[in-house]
Structure 1
Amino acid sequence: SLRFEACMPLYGHEIDATINPLEARLGWTISWDTEFVGRESLLKTKLEKPSRLLIAFEMIDRAVPREHYAIADGDTIIGHVTTGMKSPTLDQFVGMGYVPSSYSKLGTEIAVVVRGQAKKAKIVKRPFYRPRYK
């Protein structure tokens, strides 16, 4: 749960071969001054903005958001949960997932479909846990 509360992506969950670093909010890891395979494609995505983004959310309704659960806006499925659980540090049900960029604004209300029922959630700032160093 520590990597999750810090919103660190895990291969096979938040990142895989179908997700580019900009969608996963890992643009800071790219050395744009260096030539690399796929650079032009990523530059185009950077200029046009990614079509989907990784978001963090807190459940408003009491429910556990599990991997692969649908994220919805009303009756429309807009994305999916990549990881979700009850955060032991926050004592709150939280999750991460992908949604269209237009839904990625902080405070946006979404729904996670849990066993056929839409449960309210809202998009929050990442990471869930911020260490307090002295």
Structure 2
Amino acid sequence: MQDNESPTRENCDLEDPEEMFLWMFVALPGLKGAPMLLPTEYYRGVSKRLHELGARLVEEPTLKYQPPRSGDPHWITGMGQWVTLDTPDPVELTMRTVVQSLSQADRAAFEAELIRQATEGE
């Protein structure tokens, strides 16, 4: 896992004791407003301790983590959510789909604002 990434099952090395359980500490029950309560390094130590005490991955998960999307409210501090495996992954928003979802009036206002900001200070 890279230092700038949030831990997920997919980006953690499940053979590394420090990462084996790390992804499980994201969006813990009762936690609001952030993916993890404490720094990742703390949870690396907890993961390693669990491994040292005999914990191992023996079953496949029944839940999957869906990180907050950039279009979600408070996506920077959002915690994402754990959902059942059959829950479809959300469609990633693109600028094209965002603009297409706007009414004609909002598109015109958006275009006018882009032009205003682009020509500001010329």
Higher strand share: 1
Point out which structure has higher relative CO (alpha carbons under 8 A, 6+ apart). Answer: 1
Higher helix share: 2
What TM-score, normalized to structure 1? 0.27
What TM-score, normalized to structure 2? 0.29
**Larger radius of gyration between Structure 1 and Structure 2:** 2
